[in-house]
Chain A
C-alpha cells in the first residue's frame, strides 16, 4: 500500500513540472508548444488516474457483488 501512495506524489510532481515548462515556454514566446505540453501531461495523468479508478471499481465489485 505504501508503494502505491507514490503515485499521488508522482502526479503532483508531473503537475508542478508541467506548469514550470509551460511558464518557460510562454516566456520564450512559444504558446502553442506550451499548450501541447499541458495537454500531454494531462493525458498521462488522466491515464494513471483511470488505472487507479479501474482498480477501485474492480475491488468494490468484488466486495459488494460477489454472491
Chain B
C-alpha cells in the first residue's frame, strides 16, 4: 500500500505547490523539494533490500569486494545527482542542473578508474606476446 500513499502525497503536494506558486515562488519550490525528499526516504528502505540482495549474490560468486562497493557507490551518486539536478531544473536554473549532472558523471568516471585499470591489466595479461608489436 506504499504506492497509494506516495501517489496521494504527490497529488496533494502538487496542488499545494500550485496554490503557493501564485503567492511565493520560493515557498512552492521548497514544498516540492521536501515532498521529493519524503518520497525518496520512503524508497530508501526498498533500495536497501535490493542492495543487500546484490551484495549477497556478489559474495556467493566470490567477486572482489572492492568492485561491488564501487558499483554501489556509483549507483548512489547517480541517484543523488539526478535528484539535485531535477530540483534545480524545477527552479528554472537549467545551467546549475547541467553542472550538477556533469559533476555526477565526472565523479562516476573517476570512481570507475580502478575497474577500468583492472580490465586493461587483464587484457594485457591475456596476450603477453602482443606487447612488443
Known: A12-B16, A15-B20. A5 touches B27 (CB 8 A): no
Q: How far is the CB of A52 from chain B (nearest CB, A)?
A: 5
Question: For A28, what are the chain B residues with a Cβ–Cβ distance below 8 Å?
Answer: none
Question: For A60, what are the chain B residues with a Cβ–Cβ distance below 8 Å?
Answer: 40, 44, 76, 79-80
Q: Are A19 and B23 in contact (CB under 8 A)?
A: yes
Q: From B34, B41, B69, give the contact of A11 (CB < 8 A).
A: B34
Main secondary structure of the interface of A (DSSP, over half): helix
Q: From A1, A42, A52, A59, give the contact of B27 (CB < 8 A).
A: A42
Check: B75 CB closer than 8 A to any chain A CB.
yes
User: What 0/1 pattern do residues 28 to 54 of A give for CB contact below 8 A with B?
Assistant: 000000000010011001101100110
Q: From B24, B34, B44, give the contact of A59 (CB < 8 A).
A: B44
Q: Are A64 and B75 in contact (CB under 8 A)?
A: yes
Known: A8-B9, A8-B34, A49-B34. A65 touches B28 (CB 8 A): no
Check: A24 CB closer than 8 A to any chain B CB.
no
Q: How far is the CB of B8 from chain A (nearest CB, A)?
A: 10
Check: B47 CB closer than 8 A to any chain A CB.
yes
Question: For B44, what are the chain A residues with a Cβ–Cβ distance below 8 Å?
Answer: 56, 59-60, 63
Q: Are B47 and A5 in contact (CB under 8 A)?
A: no
Q: Are A49 and B30 in contact (CB under 8 A)?
A: yes
Q: Which B residue sits closest to A9, measured CB to CB?
A: B16
Known: A12-B16, A15-B23. A56 touches B75 (CB 8 A): no
Q: Which residues of B in the span 44-101 have a Cβ within 8 Å of any Cβ on A?
A: 44, 47-48, 51, 55, 65, 68-69, 72-73, 75-76, 79-80
- What 5 A-B pairs come out closest when comparing CB atoms? A64-B76, A15-B27, A19-B23, A12-B16, A67-B69
* Contact sample, A vs B, 5 pairs, CB 8 Å cutoff: A5-B38, A12-B31, A16-B19, A52-B34, A56-B41
